[in-house]
Structure formats: C-alpha cells, structure tokens
Amino acid sequence: MAIKDNLSAADPLSNEALQKLIAYKEEDLYVDYKESFDHKNNKQWLEITKDVMAFANTQGGYIVIGVRHKPFIVIGLEDSIVDFLAETNNILQKVNRYISPSFTNIRTKKYKTEDGNIVVIHIPESKGRTHIVVKEASYKYPDGRTEMVLRPGMIYVRRSATNNVMTPDDLEFILARRLDYYKESLFNRISRVVQAPIEHELVFLDANDVSKRAKGIRISDDPDATEVKGLNIAVPPKNDQQEIAGWIAMRARNERFSPGSERLWYIYSNRLTLKDTLTDDQIAELMRFNLLNNIPTFYWMQFVDDEKCKNIIKEWRYN
C-alpha cells in the first residue's frame, strides 16, 4: 500500500503505516520529516501551522518528528516532547490560533523505534473546506528582529516537498477538488433508486401529510387563458422537451420557480430516452431543478460542464 493510500485507510496511524513512513526516507507531497521540535518555541509552532494547513488544503499528509531527512537518520525525541506532541489536543490548540475553519480531525501517535521515540502527525485532506490564515502572527528573535510568519488571507498548499502560498493554478485545483467532493456527497445522499415503467408517471406524496396534493395549472389553448407571471399560456407543450423549455422560460422570469417534484420524477424515469434529445442548457437546468427538489441529481450532473456544475452547486449550497 502506497503512502497516499495509507492516508485514507481505516487506521492511517497503524504500526504498518508508521513502519512504512520510517522506510520511506523521502519528503514529498505526502510526507515531511523534522529532526527535532521545541514545543516551547512559538516560531516552530507557526511553521507547523503552515505544514498542517498545506497538507489539509492539498491531499493530506504526515509530519514525522524525530527524523533527520538528509542524511536519513532516526534521531528520536526527549520523553517530555513525545508526551506533549502525542496529545492531539495540544497540537490543535496551537495550530488553530490563526486558522479558520479550525482543524478538528488531526491525529497524533508516538512510535518506538530501535533508535528512539518519534511522533507522527496525521493530517487528513479537508475535502469540503479550505483553511485560511485569519490572524496575523509574527516571531521576535532574541536580538530584537521581528519576522512576520503568517498574514491574514494567506492560504498554504503542498507542492512537491514544500509548502507554498496558493497561486491561481492552486485555486483551480482546490475548486475542482471541491466540485468533486460535492458530486460525491450528492451521490452518497441518494438513499434509493426508484424504477418505474417508462410509460407510467411516478408520483411521490408528502410522507408527513398524505392529504396534501400538488396545486396544478391546466395549460389550455383557450385564447382567454389566464396569464401566469405575465405570461399567457395558450398552447400546451406537445412533448417533454417543450415542457422542459417552458420550465426554463419560467425560471428566467422568476429565479425561485421550480416545477413540481412529480413532473421531475417523471422526467427522471424517462432520462435514458430523453437525454440525447435535450440541449446542454436543458440538462443543466434539470440538474438544478432536481437538486432543489432532493431528487437524484448525479445522472444529469455527469453531462454538465464543470464550471456550470460548480456554479449550480454553489447556488444550491448557499440558498
């Protein structure tokens, strides 16, 4: 199992995973070695804060303390440092002072080797959020010099074996990863898949009140038809494609408009035959309508442009 796979394993700090970290001997996107650590030195805590942020904002990683990287030697740590770092809350209290949102799922573990005790910090990937510096932090040297270490608004990411302030390319990576996370989350929220014969309409009633019935609008070709939101609905749609086009037109006039869930379920039940007859915009709007009505969304989502998909999910998340 590769180091990357260990990060998402059931126990990312198993003895097997820790033995692999000792044998790995390379700093990269997932691993950082530190020869020593003074838990009373604030500058070292600020650097650890950068490390934790960078790993969490990228793909997760391990910080191995008590190991020299070049040449690779296990140095070991004093018992007092091991005991302090092995308490996860001590780590969280230090790194959360300047960061938002706070870290909550970092884990630490001490590990005994033939050459001394070390501590390993496991930082999982923060898929659904991005950690940002929200408070200025500086360090004053004994000679009076002051170094600014953290500035509000800074976002660190992991690139190769170093921590770097986020660039526009990194932002694209984070947004793409966030989009993948939301897609996965939405897919996992689908609790059941309902199949119905294509020629039938699938109707869901309110489970809490079966007496409720959807309020309908009868579409008529009567020239005296009642206007709705300024539109005169005179000609009924002749097919599903025209009905979907009508929904899109209604939403263009009223962004809060949404068709009834029973009609969306009907369209969903016919998705396989309808998909190739719809435009990209119609598919994107069906994704939006399904999302707003808690109807399975993934089928439509897979055909929507990533940028448009991202915007629809943002709109759904913040409404």
pLDDT in tens, 157-199: 999 889 999 887 777 777 777 777 766 666 555 544 445 454 4
CA distance 75 to 82: 13
pLDDT digits (tens, 9 = 90+) for 280-310: 989 999 988 988 888 888 788 888 888 888 8
The residue among 165, 195, 216 that closes a domain is 165
Same domain as 142, residue 24: yes
Q: Is 8 buried (19+), middle (13-18) or exposed (0-12) by CB count in 10 A? A: exposed
With cut-offs at 50, 70 and 90, classify the pLDDT of residue 85.
very high
Same domain as 207, residue 155: no
Is 178 part of a structural domain of the chain?
no
Same domain as 198, residue 157: no
The CATH number that applies at residue 151 is 3.30.950
Helix 88-95 to helix 42-57 angle (10° resolution) is: 90
With cut-offs at 50, 70 and 90, classify the pLDDT of residue 73.
very high
Is 208 part of a structural domain of the chain?
yes
The residue among 108, 131, 165 that closes a domain is 165
Torsion, CA 8, CA 13, CA 19, CA 24, rounded to 10? 50
In 3-state terms, what secondary structure has residue 113?
strand
Same domain as 256, residue 209: yes
Q: CA distances (Å), 308 to each of 120, 161, 250, 276, 287, in order? A: 41, 33, 20, 19, 11
Is 307 part of a structural domain of the chain?
yes
Is 47 part of a structural domain of the chain?
yes
Same domain as 7, residue 154: yes
Same domain as 75, residue 134: yes
Same domain as 92, residue 234: no
Strand stretches in the chain, DSSP E: 31-34, 61-65, 67-68, 73-74, 99-100, 107-113, 116-123, 132-133, 137-140, 146-150, 156-159, 162-165, 227-228, 231-232
Query: How many domains, in total, are found in the chain?
Result: 2
**Average pLDDT score over the chain:** 83
Same domain as 193, residue 135: no
Same domain as 197, residue 74: no
The residue among 113, 136, 165 that closes a domain is 165
Same domain as 33, residue 68: yes
In 3-state terms, what secondary structure has residue 180?
helix
Count of beta carbons in the 10 Å neighbourhood of residue 22: 18
CB 95 within 8 Å of CB 52: yes
Range of the domain at 157: 3-165
Is 173 part of a structural domain of the chain?
no
Q: Half-sphere exposure (CA, 13 Å, Cβ side) for 139?
A: 12
Same domain as 64, residue 112: yes
State pTM to two decimals: 0.60
Same domain as 193, residue 158: no
